[in-house]
Amino acid sequence: MSQGETEETDDEQPGALPDYAERVLDVADLIPPGRVMTYGDVAEWLGDGGPRQVGRAMALYGSAVPWWRVVRADGALLPGHELRAVEHYRAEGTPLREASRQADGHLPRLDMRRARWDGSGGDSSNPAGQGEETHT
């Protein structure tokens, strides 16, 4: 090796998650039910990358986490996954803006003003009370 060159090492095992993707998925796991973060919010939270890098990590590795909680900034639903996402949003009580009859496909959008989570611990409760059992 000549001076100035560094030996490339691959510390990750084959099939292991890249470090950035693992960090993105960790943030997705933190988002409370009924709330969302944009791709840009996740990148800002990490202090690394940008919306496209977060989107790429979610597209490749996000199926094991609540992927529907990492969204576009305009509140539009992820193309090709709209119906599955809407099921999750409705089950979790995520604020939606219903589509007008003139809207393409009549799909709702996320109400970003109400659904967006800033990452603070104060909103980590389940706002819709979904999935909680009561015992008598």
At 81-130, the pLDDT tens digits run: 999 999 999 999 999 998 766 656 678 999 999 999 998 875 444 333 33
In this prediction, residue 49 carries a pLDDT of: 95
Write the pLDDT tens digit of every residue in 41-71: 999 999 999 999 999 999 999 999 999 999 9
The phi and psi torsions of 83 (rounded to 5 degrees) equal -65, -40
Contact 34, 92 (CB under 8 A): yes
Q: Which residue has the higher pLDDT, 10 or 62?
A: 62
Question: For 31-38, what is the mean pLDDT?
Answer: 98
d(CA 75, CA 116): 10
Q: Report the distance separating Cα 45 and Cα 119, nearest Å.
A: 8
Q: What pLDDT is recorded for position 26? A: 97
According to DSSP, the β-strands at 70-71 and 96-97 are: unpaired
pLDDT at 60 (0 to 100):
96
pLDDT of 105 reads: 64
